[in-house]
Structure 1
């Protein structure tokens, strides 16, 4: 729960910071674009004026005028920057009568150059943009400082907003989990007593057959209600217990042993395959046992007489891979998305509870993934992957791959 709250607060902070950053960047971008447009418009007007009325000997600061007349270029008495005038443009405009405008980078700065037809040839006006470029650089520097200040402000606001928005939600979730846990604890005792009394009544010898059948159904219903309470209690406690080393090999062996009697009664061949060595993960043993038990019980429920169920364990790339495969009825892969929903099979064959949705919650809460593949009439294969002890880095995986599950 604490990790989830911290993650939620961090996400809120990042979103708020991103929003403020984008706002500052957007406003700064508009300001920069407006400034560049205004400068270019002003320089274009000055170039046009100088080309029309300017003379080489009299030109504004940072501007020069060159005149091509009778094949001779008049540069005037002013100091001319290296590379100017652009004689090729003067000659081209003098012969074609079509104006040429271009930007030139030279001498560590930029120039805007306009060459237009003149009275006896061509006129070329040049404007040095060094001061305009300096103004742009200063604006970008100011925007960078504003953006940095905005990031700091965004971080502060984001943390504050995160505490105010996520805090009450976290408290509500904690209260909900406590209520579920407390209610489940309180319900377990009366449910156990009711189940025991139903079993005692079943042992009576003078009961009519109809009543005995009804008591049997009542006992199954009470037992199913107890399973629901156990599932709710386990789900509420998942995030509140520290992880301990758990040997999945022993868990799988115990699950197979627990289902062996029911498998034999139905003529199902049940086998387990592993290397005979401990495969240890970090987690909550009761939760992991419940997830393996549920997968195996699910396979037994959906495998007909004479079928086969296999449980295989192995270590693959820092993970423990547990596979439960059966030759049962399978499922349609297109319906996979909704099969892990809570109470999906709550009324199925004398079984009530959270079922496969709880399996997914347990596995993903331990940093693993759950996957299933099935085909109608050709069985199903469920695969759990959990990090080996010492390999786990995130309490919840960044991405969960949950393909399907057998209802």
Structure 2
């Protein structure tokens, strides 16, 4: 083992193949640890510190340092200043410290802490744990099943390939899951979460969030606030939470619940189940044989020109809890009995008790709406 101590001048210090202790002191130094489990201190100045092979411990200390762990399971500290750190091959622990640092775990299962400042953090290949800390950080997971924590600030988290777990923390964060079955939590703030490909779980948390499921069978929770949710393709489960939410199911057989607040809920293509919850909700099943529940409040059920279907073909929508406070609005439909030749605004209601059928003829054929609850006569409007 060699003990090497520098001066306050700018020097090049080179270790041996054994476990060395190198203290560069002042100056803008270049240190090469070489083989062995080395301990390297950069000291003051803008240093370049290379660990080489072995399980090294490197501290940049003062200055804007460049630290390369190289091969081995290294522990790397940037310290004060704007540092650039590369872990290299191996399972490394990297701490940026103060300053706007650029931290890269590279190959291996790495743990990276940004600390204070607006940091750029990359996990690289492997199952990494990445922590932004204070500041507006950008975190890229890369290939592997990563765990990512934005911390304080307005952070950007990109999962990349793999089944990632992502936490935005405080601030207005942007999370992109990428490929894989990801779990994403926005936390406080007005966050934007995009699941991407895979069967993802998204939770916006507090704030007015924008949540996009993308491809796959996703589960999305808006949480508190007035949220915008788009399930995308797949059979999704979408929950608005508290607040006045807008939810689109997209393609697939979706389950949509507005929960608290006066929500706008759209099933889209597929056989959807849409529940308004409390509040004065606007509900549209879209195409397909949908099941619609208004819940409490004065709800509006909206049917576009091609939304309702023919009951004889098993395509009719069903309203399950219609009350005298609710309204059915239909866009541009025509009279059933007249075969579509009468003026817009005519329809027929048949049934009794709590089972009713609203029938009409539209531009693309016969349409029916099953209504469970109060008589809908007098509660139908055309728009």
**Shorter-chain TM band:** under 0.3
Q: Whose strand fraction is larger, Structure 1's or Structure 2's?
A: 2
TM-score (normalizing by structure 1): 0.18
Q: Whose helix fraction is larger, Structure 1's or Structure 2's?
A: 1
TM-score (normalizing by structure 2): 0.19
Which structure has the larger Rg? Answer: 1
